[in-house]
Structure 1
Amino acid sequence: MKTGNLAFELADLRAEQERQAGILRAQAALEGPGSSACRQCGAAIEARRREALPSAITCVACAMETA
């Protein structure tokens, strides 16, 4: 076995682990509780947004700024 190939395989494995961890963090955030007030500006989050995205923590305006 060549050590050069092993290094690439380990790097690929680590990258895949990081991708999977990122996916799990995103899923957990979407399943978490939302908020009735925006965490950035403090404005009320509209009921329609909370219905569409129960885990919402920002109002539409603040969400658009960070997108």
Structure 2
Amino acid sequence: MATGWAGDGAVQDQIDATVEDAVKRARSRLATGPGLLHCEECDEAIPEARREAVPGVRLCVVCQQAEDNQRAESGYNRRGSKDSQLR
């Protein structure tokens, strides 16, 4: 943390700016444009309501859930180990 005097709420302002930057970065990675009419994994039709709700959709609900589950179970530690942070 920086030394010296900081105005009231300076820490909260920094936290808010960090969160805002992260949200902007995440939104920039979202798919845009028209979605696919058929799932690129199983070739099932993607309902119009899903295509309207999720811009740039590529997968049907079943395949998207399977992909999300696989990603969650990958076991990859995104923060790194304690040892790697100490080096």
The two structures have a TM-score, normalised by structure 2, of: 0.43
Percent identity, aligned pairs only, is 34
CA RMSD, Structure 1 to Structure 2 (Å): 2.1
Measured in 2, the distance between the counterparts of 1:24 and 1:53 equals 13
Measured in 1, the distance between the counterparts of 2:34 and 2:49 equals 16
- The alignment partner of 1:31 has SS state of coil
Unpaired runs of 5+ residues, structure 2, are 1-24, 69-87
Q: Which runs of 4+ in 1 moved over 4 A?
A: 22-25
Measured in 1, the distance between the counterparts of 2:52 and 2:26 equals 23
Q: What is the aligned partner in structure 1 of residue 29 from structure 2?
A: 26
Q: Which has the higher contact order (CA 8 A, sep 6+)?
A: 1
* Larger Rg, first or second structure (1 or 2): 2
Q: Is the 8 A contact 2:39 2:58 kept in 1?
A: yes
Q: What is the aligned partner in structure 2 of residue 36 from structure 1?
A: 37
Aligned 1:1-67 pairs, distance under 5 A: 26-27=29-30, 30-67=31-68
The two structures have a TM-score, normalised by structure 1, of: 0.55
Q: Which amino acid aligns with 2:48?
A: A
